[in-house]
Amino acid sequence: MNAQRMSALLEKDFKEAIRNPSIILMPIVIIGLSYMWRVAFGKDIPENILQMFQLMLINLTLVMISLSTLMNLFAEENDKGTLKGLIKTPASLIEIIISKIFIILIITLLSIIISLFIFNHPLYLRWSTYIGIVLIYFIYSCIGVGFGFLAQTIGKATFFNLISLFLFGMMSLFTAMPEMKSLSSLKQFSKYLPGNLTLEIEHQHYFNFIYLIIWLIVSLIFMLGCHRYRFRKN
């Protein structure tokens, strides 16, 4: 890994990021949602419910920024036809991916910090839950890069974004809706999604780490498979 190449890639990706509307919009949506939840909950919400929604907010931030926005960066490169050019430069695939992930990581962390600050309640989690959050960050990043390789246009990226948001973001909310008995099978499925697995780790369900590791392995294979498929002619 060459420091000069990494510096050039980071500068390029930063300039592209600040010109990308989705990178500006996604954090605003997350911050706005945290404010709406704070107003809706008031001050009398039970501690366990508040903690659950804090974790859901973190999961939604990771989906909307670490996955969707990262996907959009790669999709934009595909749409402009510059991604294949980058692959052919001396910069390695690892350097290209790390550069984009680093930019998105900064935006993700800032969004989470601001959102939790607006939530106006300290976040107390077990150390194991923090490890789970790190794992789902890498899971979503791999999925985002994989979809980014497949999305040759912004339109396809939008389609993949909707799938990701529904599957990893909205589906996680079913666990918080015990009254929806008619969708019990859907709720059962949602328990095995990365966000909900991490939520249960906070309640000492440590076996969920095995499921998260499986998710991570599958997401890595998915990312590498998408790369091979996208550039198979080269």
Q: pLDDT tens across 25-81, in order?
A: 888 888 888 888 777 776 667 777 777 888 888 999 999 888 988 888 888 877 776
Q: How do residues 129-156 score in pLDDT, each as one tens digit?
A: 899 999 999 999 999 999 988 887 778 8
> CA nearest 153: which of 81, 93, 231, 84?
81
Q: What is the pLDDT of residue 206?
A: 85
| Residue type present at position 23 | I
pTM above 0.75, yes or no: yes
Q: What is the pLDDT of residue 27?
A: 86
Q: How far is CA 5 from CA 76, 92, 98, 125, in A?
A: 21, 9, 12, 38
**Average pLDDT of 86-103?**
74
Q: What percent of the chain stands above pLDDT 70?
A: 84
Q: What is the pLDDT of residue 88?
A: 59
**Average pLDDT of 122-129?**
83
The answer to whether the CB of 154 falls within 8 A of the CB of 96 is: no
Q: What is the pLDDT of residue 221?
A: 95
> CA nearest 65: which of 146, 169, 159, 220?
169
Which tokens in the block code for residue 218? 């599958």
Q: What is the pLDDT of residue 46?
A: 72
Q: What is the pLDDT of residue 53?
A: 82
Q: What is the pLDDT of residue 89?
A: 60
Mean pLDDT estimate for the chain: 81
Residue whose pair of structure tokens reads 């009254």 in the numeric block: 179
Q: How do residues 186-201 score in pLDDT, each as one tens digit?
A: 677 778 888 888 888 8
Neighbours of 85 (CB within 10 A): 10
Q: What percent of the chain stands above pLDDT 90?
A: 16
pLDDT class of 205 with cuts at 50, 70, 90: confident
Is a pLDDT exceeding 60 seen at residue 94? yes
Kindly give, in sequence order, each residue whose CB lies less than 8 Å from that of residue 179, ignoring residues fewer than 6 positions away.
none
